[in-house]
Structure 1
Amino acid sequence: MSAAAVIAVVLSLVSAVAYAAAAVAQERLASKTSGAGLLRLLGSGAWWAAVGLNAGAALLHVVALKYGPLTLVQPLGALTLVAAVPMGARVAGRRVSGTEWRGTALTLLGLGALLVTASGPAPHQVLSLTEALAVAGTTAALIGALSRPGTRPGLRHATASGFASGVASALTQTVTVAATDRSGPVLSVQVIVVALLVAAFAVGGLLLSQMAYRGGLGAPLAVVTLSNPVTAAVIGLTLLGQGLQDGVAGILLALAGAGLASRGVVLLTRATPATPIAEPDDEHPVAAVLALESARVAAEQALLPRQKPESEHLTAH
Structure 2
Amino acid sequence: MSATVLAVVLSLFSAVAYAAAAVAQERLAARSAGSGVLRLLGSAAWWVSVALNASGAVLHVVALNYGPLTVVQPLGALTLIAAVPMGAWLAGKRVSAVEWRGTSFTLAGLAALLVTASGPAPDDALSVTEALTVAGSASVLICLLARPGTRPGLRHAGASGIASGVGSALTQTVTVAATDSSGSVFSAQVVGVALLVAVFASGGVLLSQTAYRGGLGAPLAVVTLSNPLAASVIGLSLLGERLQGGAAGVLLAVAGALLASWGVVLLSRTPSGDRTVLSSEPETRVPRPSRPGHLTPL
Q: TM class by shorter-chain length?
A: 0.7 to 0.9
Equivalent residue, structure 1, for 2:109: 110
| Higher helix proportion | 1
Deviations 1:94-136 (A, max 9, x none): 1111122223333343344445434422221111111001000
* Cα drift, residue 68 of structure 1: 5.3
Equivalent residue, structure 2, for 1:89: 88
| Contact 2:152–2:210 (8 Å) recurs in 1 | yes
| Residues 40-55 of structure 1: pairs in structure 2 closer than 5 A | 40-55=39-54
Structure 1: where are the runs of 5+ without partners? Answer: 291-299, 302-317
* Cα drift, residue 286 of structure 1: 1.4
* Cα drift, residue 268 of structure 1: 2.9
Q: Distance in 1 between matches of 2:234 and 2:23?
A: 29
What one-letter code is carried by the residue in structure 1 that aligns with 2:83? A
* Cα drift, residue 54 of structure 1: 0.9
What one-letter code is carried by the residue in structure 2 that aligns with 1:196? L
* Cα drift, residue 12 of structure 1: 4.3
Question: Which deviates more, 150-159 or 16-25?
Answer: 150-159
Q: Distance in 2 between matches of 1:193 and 1:118?
A: 27
Question: Which deviates more, 104-113 or 206-215?
Answer: 104-113
What one-letter code is carried by the residue in structure 2 that aligns with 1:219? A
| Contact 1:96–1:274 (8 Å) recurs in 2 | no
Q: Distance in 2 between matches of 1:111 and 1:52?
A: 26
| Residues 1-317 of structure 1: pairs in structure 2 closer than 5 A | 11-38=10-37, 40-63=39-62, 77-114=76-113, 116-272=115-271, 283-286=281-284
| Contact 1:94–1:274 (8 Å) recurs in 2 | no
Answer with 1 or 2: which has the greater Rg.
Answer: 1
TM-score by length of 2: 0.82
Secondary structure in 2 matching 1:285: coil
| Contact 2:126–2:173 (8 Å) recurs in 1 | yes
* Cα drift, residue 226 of structure 1: 2.5
Q: Distance in 1 between matches of 2:120 and 2:153?
A: 38
Equivalent residue, structure 2, for 1:313: none
Secondary structure in 1 matching 2:140: helix
TM-score by length of 1: 0.77
Structure 2: where are the runs of 5+ without partners? Answer: 288-296
- Structure 1 residues 253 and 8, CA gap change in structure 2 (3 angstroms): farther
| Contact 2:99–2:267 (8 Å) recurs in 1 | yes
Q: Distance in 2 between matches of 1:120 and 1:7?
A: 19
Q: Distance in 1 between matches of 2:253 and 2:152?
A: 33
What one-letter code is carried by the residue in structure 1 that aligns with 2:178? A
Q: Distance in 1 between matches of 2:242 and 2:72?
A: 13
Equivalenced residues, count: 290
Equivalent residue, structure 1, for 2:294: none
Q: Distance in 2 between matches of 1:64 and 1:103?
A: 28
Q: Distance in 2 between matches of 1:65 and 1:134?
A: 27
- Structure 1 residues 192 and 107, CA gap change in structure 2 (3 angstroms): same
Deviations 1:231-281 (A, max 9, x none): 1111111111221223222332333333333333332333347769xx99x
Secondary structure in 1 matching 2:284: helix
* Cα drift, residue 44 of structure 1: 1.6
User: Percent sequence identity over matched residues?
Assistant: 70
Q: Distance in 2 between matches of 1:7 and 1:131?
A: 35
Question: Which deviates more, 105-114 or 129-138?
Answer: 105-114
Q: Distance in 1 between matches of 2:3 and 2:240?
A: 18
* Cα drift, residue 174 of structure 1: 0.9
